[in-house]
Structure 1
Amino acid sequence: MSRPHEAAGGDGAVRMTAARSTGDAGSMRRLARSLGPLVVSLMAAGAVLAGCASATDVSTTDKPGAYTVSASATGGRLAWARAHERAMTEANDYCESRGMQTSVAYERTDGIEAFQQHGAVLRFECHPKF
């Protein structure tokens, strides 16, 4: 007696094809199930590496009307951009809370390696809005 996937003729060929495609689909499902945790882990690691930026409080300098703020961020090659953005936000918020606008006098950014802390330092003044 022959097994269904070995049967000759149109019916047997259909069964053989169905068995083969079911096996392929089963393999794909097993692969997707085994890769699922890996994909989730990689996405979580990416979210952690994307990270946030933190900033110091705005402080005065020895020059009257001049202020400084520092910010830092980690994760990825563009962390310096997040640090810059956070420092600019702090400076803008500080001046706007006084009804003024920000004028950046000096900026320094550092950090180019993907997994190191990147930073930005701003020295700025607040000037009246025109």
Structure 2
Amino acid sequence: MSASPPAESKQIRARLDTAVVPAWDVGGMPGGLRVTPDSGWVDNRLEARRSYDRADSAASLARAGRVIGYQLVYDDAAETALRSGIGLQAFLTSVELFSSAKGASASLRGRLAFARGLENRSPQPGIRFGAV
């Protein structure tokens, strides 16, 4: 475990959940969508478990400077959009805190490169990456 984060980092972490896109910033909650139980804090262990990149681990994310994340997930629980073929089925907004701008930039570059490698492919059943 590394030394405790500086006071400024603790203050930023305390406000991290306010940085994701809340429903009112997208013009209100689109009809039928709800915030899912998946919403909330995402530590490095959970982020690694959810990652499409099998090389990700809690330890590798911590070494890369990732401190914590927060996400809001909205979905159409009634599956109205799927049944009708029109509308928004789901969307996710997230934000991550890194210990440095350098670590955040490196992570973003790495994730973009990884996503580009999956462009127009399926990393797992039911998921397909479009254009990146």
- TM range, normalised to the smaller chain? under 0.3
Q: Between Structure 1 and Structure 2, which shows a larger proportion of helix residues?
A: 1
TM-score (norm 2): 0.23
Which has the bigger relative contact order, CA under 8 A and spacing at least 6?
A: 2
Q: Quick check: which one's strand share is greater?
A: 1
